[in-house]
C-alpha cells in the first residue's frame, strides 16, 4: 500500500514540475520571444556539446577497461 501511494506522489510531483516548467516557458516566450528563443537554442547547443563530450569520454574509458587499465 505504501509503495502505491509513494508512486502516485512521485507521478504527481513530476506532473506538477512539468506543468510549472511549461507554463514558465510559454510565459517567457509570450513576453520575451527573441531572448527566449536565443536562450533556448543556446542551452540546447550546450547540452548537445556536453552529450558529445560525455560520449567521447565514456568511449575512451571503456577502451581502457578492456585493455586492463583499472586506474581510478
Residue from 30, 49, 29 nearest 39 by CA: 29
Q: Alpha helix locations (H) across the chain?
A: 2-31, 33-66
Measured in degrees and rounded to the nearest 5, phi and psi for residue 67 equal: -90, 5
User: Do 37 and 29 form a contact (C-beta atoms < 8 A)?
Assistant: yes
Report pLDDT digits (tens) over 13-69: 999 999 999 999 999 999 999 999 999 999 999 999 999 999 888 776 666 666 666
The SS3 call for residue 70 is coil
- Looking at residue 71, its pLDDT comes to 57
- Looking at residue 2, its pLDDT comes to 66
- Looking at residue 58, its pLDDT comes to 78
24: which DSSP letter? H
Amino acid at each position: 500500500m505504501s509503495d502505491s501511494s509513494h508512486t502516485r506522489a512521485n507521478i504527481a510531483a513530476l506532473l506538477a514540475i512539468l506543468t510549472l516548467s511549461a507554463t514558465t516557458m510559454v510565459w517567457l516566450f509570450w513576453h520575451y520571444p527573441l531572448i527566449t528563443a536565443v536562450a533556448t537554442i543556446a542551452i540546447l547547443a550546450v547540452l548537445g556539446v556536453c552529450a558529445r563530450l560525455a560520449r567521447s569520454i565514456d568511449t575512451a574509458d571503456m577502451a581502457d577497461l578492456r585493455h586492463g587499465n583499472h586506474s581510478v
